[in-house]
Chain A
Amino acid sequence: ENVLTQSPAIMSASPGEKVTMTCRASSSVSSSYLHWYQQKSGASPKLWIYSTSNLASGVPARFSGSGSGTSYSLTISSVEAEDAATYYCQQYSGYPYTFGGGTKLEIK
Chain B
Amino acid sequence: QVQLKQSGPGLVQPSQSLSITCTVSGFSLTSYGVHWVRQSPGKGLEWLGVIWRGGSTDYNAAFMSRLSITKDNSKSQVFFKMNSLQADDTAIYYCAKNLGNLYYAMDYWGQGTSVTVSS
Beyond A46-B109, A96-B61, A102-B44, 5 additional contacts (C-beta under 8 Å) are A35-B103, A44-B110, A95-B61, A99-B44, A102-B45
Can you show 20 pairs from A to B with CB atoms below 8 A apart? A32-B102, A33-B105, A35-B103, A35-B104, A44-B109, A44-B111, A44-B112, A45-B45, A45-B94, A46-B109, A47-B105, A50-B105, A50-B107, A88-B44, A92-B104, A92-B105, A96-B47, A96-B61, A97-B104, A102-B45
Asked if A66 is at the interface (CB within 8 A of a chain B CB), the reply is: no
With a CB–CB cut-off of 8 A, which chain A residues contact B40? none
What's the Cα separation between A38 and B111 when bound, in Å? Answer: 15
Residues of B within 8 A of A45 (CB): 45, 94, 106, 109
Q: How far is the CB of A40 from the nearest CB of chain B, in Å?
A: 12
Residues in chain B within 8 A of chain A (CB atoms): 35, 44-47, 58-62, 94, 99, 102-112
Q: A45-B109, A50-B99 are in contact. Are A99 and B47 (CB under 8 A)?
A: yes
Residues of B within 8 A of A102 (CB): 44-45
How many residues of A are in contact with the other chain, CB < 8 A?
A: 22
Q: Which among A50, A88, A101 is the interface contact of B103 at CB below 8 angstroms?
A: A50
On whether A35 and B105 interact (CB within 8 A), knowing A95-B58, A96-B62, the answer reads yes
The answer for the CA separation of A45 and B112 in the assembled complex, in Å, is 10
Task: List A contacts of B106 (CB < 8 A).
Answer: 37, 45, 47, 90
